[in-house]
Chain A
């Protein structure tokens, strides 16, 4: 059937404009620090600000911790569900979708009330424990994505058959987990990891209410007080997110089973 392609192209063009113009605008704005001339002055100021480095480092460390925590929590769970207790799957899947339903602000509200200094588990009692609480909060936020990535990855490799085959060939559990399952799930874990990283770096609500020196609250503070630096920060922030998502796409494209001619 002959099709008129003009309409779809126009729509794509409009979409592309809507997507790119704000990015362009941000970049252009960030170059305006010095009156009358374009320069990277705003970037220089931002990068020289000690708080920039400090908060970015803090958030990065927290992101890595969240990823590790997420992997430790999710991978064995997903494996166990597939192998031993498939009946629990609907329940577990429902739980992993809860963070998408319950807004983050509600969750952190709950944490503050339950885990404050007066409670059984005073996680907000000290800075380090609050950091721990923030990490758990981020694990909760990332849970849906991490679980889905790992679950999909496990399903693609037919865990049950692999495990039974390994068993019948004489392998014990540690061997199976580390030599058979983990390598095949590595790609899925990585894609979940990049998404988690992007989420944590940009997160504001939880970090701000738990009063931690993360990158998100720093961004907001700059925005309230400065004119041009926020745009530079936005550009930097976008670049980081892009890098994460780009890497995610690279890894998501390589599903297990498509590993290059492995030996």
Chain B
């Protein structure tokens, strides 16, 4: 077979590797790695290391201990609660939607439409989303007004307030639900129709099918997706900032304030705060990957 030598980049692909050629093979990915180091690895590493240092630059665990100090700890707890609430809520609703579209026997156009809207809606985060919910469920919002005009029901008298824990969780669910739909739809696809039929054929009712087959097969992807949603909510800033200002003391907003103006009066504590965040999101993703590996083994 004719070997063609290209102009500047050395011998063709089919030539066997030799010591002298190893350096060529790395050339192409160098820009990428430089970029990754500069803008991903080093910044994160810097913060992580900084969390273990005091103001003189010596190694210390003091910052980590300080993370458990009441105000900071409570901010983590609130973040965890909101993220968990919106993740679980988003997971349940998202799963119901995805299942209805994928396996619910609906017309063929429903699923692609749902996927498209989910793709669009999962990007509706941030400031515009906060505005949208303010306009809908705020004190003078459309739904609030409709509820009082049509049903005589005063939403705010029940203690509901959009600018609160529940309101933020509800707002978060607007992008959590579509994200769940996008993540879980392939897993539902993996639930083969023949399993349903085989189980019915063997005498199982719908409930028995779910209990013995569908849920056992689905719970790793379900849990994994919920964790992804959790991590997603945990790191969100803009929506909360635009909706609640600084009235809700979540970690990302504390960090925001810290970056702006060192409100903690301790640079290194700020680093520890960031480290704590990375830990939360990192763990969630790690468990997600582990769960995904587990379920893939079965579903070959």
Q: In the complex, is A directly touching B at CB under 8 Å?
A: yes
B135 interface hit (Cβ, 8 Å): yes
Are B28 and A80 within 8 A (Cβ)?
Answer: yes
Of the listed stretches B64-72, B218-226, B274-282, chain A binds B274-282
Closest to B243 in A: A223
Residue-by-residue, is B15-43 near A (CB-CB < 8 Å gives 1, otherwise 0)?
00000000001101101100110111011
**A-chain residues with CB within 8 Å of residue B116 when the two chains form the complex:** 245, 249
A262 interface hit (Cβ, 8 Å): no
A220 interface hit (Cβ, 8 Å): yes
Whole-angstrom CA separation of A137 from B39 in the bound complex: 7
Whole-angstrom CA separation of A103 from B123 in the bound complex: 16
Task: Identify which of residues 240-257 in chain B touch chain A, using a CB-to-CB cut-off of 8 Å.
Answer: 241-242, 245, 252, 255-256
Of the listed stretches B1-9, B52-60, B148-156, chain A binds B1-9
Of the listed stretches A45-53, A54-62, A181-189, A203-211, chain B binds A203-211
B133 interface hit (Cβ, 8 Å): yes
Task: Identify which of residues 75-97 in chain A touch chain B, using a CB-to-CB cut-off of 8 Å.
Answer: 76-77, 79-81, 83-85, 88, 92, 95, 97
> Are A106 and B123 CB-contacts (below 8 A) given A29-B141, A92-B32, A163-B13?
no
Q: Which of A9, A12, A25, A81 contacts B143 (CB 8 A)?
A: A25
Whole-angstrom CA separation of A29 from B137 in the bound complex: 11
| Interface SS majority for chain A | helix
Q: How many A-B residue pairs have CB under 8 A?
A: 261
A152 interface hit (Cβ, 8 Å): no
Are B135 and A12 within 8 A (Cβ)?
Answer: no
**A-chain residues with CB within 8 Å of residue B245 when the two chains form the complex:** 224
> Are A25 and B135 CB-contacts (below 8 A) given A173-B7, A245-B119?
yes
Q: Which of A1, A110, A174, A234 contacts B197 (CB 8 A)?
A: A1
B213 interface hit (Cβ, 8 Å): no
- State the Cβ distance, A182 to closest chain B Cβ, in Å: 16
Closest to A230 in B: B131
Are A104 and B43 within 8 A (Cβ)?
Answer: no
Q: Which of B7, B8, B110, B235 contacts A105 (CB 8 A)?
A: B235
Q: Which of B7, B50, B100 contacts A8 (CB 8 A)?
A: B100
Q: Which of A81, A107, A219 contacts B44 (CB 8 A)?
A: A107
Are B7 and A205 within 8 A (Cβ)?
Answer: no
Q: Which of B6, B106, B120, B143 contacts A21 (CB 8 A)?
A: B143
Are B47 and A113 within 8 A (Cβ)?
Answer: yes
Task: Report, as a range, how many residues of chain A touch the other chain.
Answer: 35 or more
Residue-by-residue, is A236-263 near B (CB-CB < 8 Å gives 1, otherwise 0)?
0110011001101100000000000000
B200 interface hit (Cβ, 8 Å): yes
Q: Which of B29, B40, B137 contacts A80 (CB 8 A)?
A: B29
A198 interface hit (Cβ, 8 Å): yes
Closest to B34 in A: A73
On chain B, the number of residues with a Cβ less than 8 Å from chain A's Cβ atoms is 87
**B-chain residues with CB within 8 Å of residue A245 when the two chains form the complex:** 116, 119-120, 123
**A-chain residues with CB within 8 Å of residue B130 when the two chains form the complex:** 223
**A-chain residues with CB within 8 Å of residue B293 when the two chains form the complex:** none
Q: Which of B39, B110, B129 has the most CB of A within 10 A?
A: B39
Are B6 and A173 within 8 A (Cβ)?
Answer: yes
- State the Cβ distance, B118 to closest chain A Cβ, in Å: 9
- State the Cβ distance, B265 to closest chain A Cβ, in Å: 16
Q: Which of A24, A219, A234 has the most CB of B within 10 A?
A: A234
A7 interface hit (Cβ, 8 Å): yes
B297 interface hit (Cβ, 8 Å): no
> Are A110 and B44 CB-contacts (below 8 A) given A25-B142, A76-B28?
yes
B87 interface hit (Cβ, 8 Å): no
Are B8 and A173 within 8 A (Cβ)?
Answer: yes
> Are A105 and B252 CB-contacts (below 8 A) given A22-B136, A219-B128?
yes
Q: Which of B2, B26, B99, B106 contacts A9 (CB 8 A)?
A: B106
> Are A106 and B278 CB-contacts (below 8 A) given A99-B40, A112-B259, A114-B43?
yes
> With contacts A25-B135, A105-B277 known, what are 19 further pairs, Cβ within 8 A?
A3-B104, A8-B104, A11-B100, A22-B174, A28-B142, A29-B140, A29-B141, A77-B28, A103-B237, A109-B43, A110-B44, A114-B42, A140-B40, A202-B123, A205-B238, A209-B259, A216-B238, A220-B238, A241-B128
The 9 tightest CB contacts between A and B, nearest first, are A110-B43, A103-B235, A25-B136, A8-B104, A80-B28, A29-B135, A25-B142, A8-B100, A204-B238
30 pairs from A and B in contact (CB 8 Å cutoff): A9-B106, A11-B100, A21-B143, A25-B141, A26-B132, A26-B135, A28-B142, A30-B135, A77-B31, A77-B32, A85-B25, A85-B29, A88-B29, A102-B282, A103-B236, A106-B44, A106-B274, A106-B277, A109-B47, A109-B270, A110-B42, A110-B47, A136-B35, A140-B39, A176-B6, A203-B238, A205-B256, A209-B256, A216-B238, A245-B120
Binding site for A on B (CB under 8 A): 1-2, 4, 6-9, 12-14, 25-26, 28-29, 31-32, 35-36, 38-40, 42-44, 46-47, 50, 93, 96-97, 99-101, 104-106, 110, 114, 116-117, 119-121, 123-137, 140-143, 174, 177, 197, 200, 231, 234-238, 241-242, 245, 252, 255-256, 259-260, 270, 274, 277-278, 281-282, 285
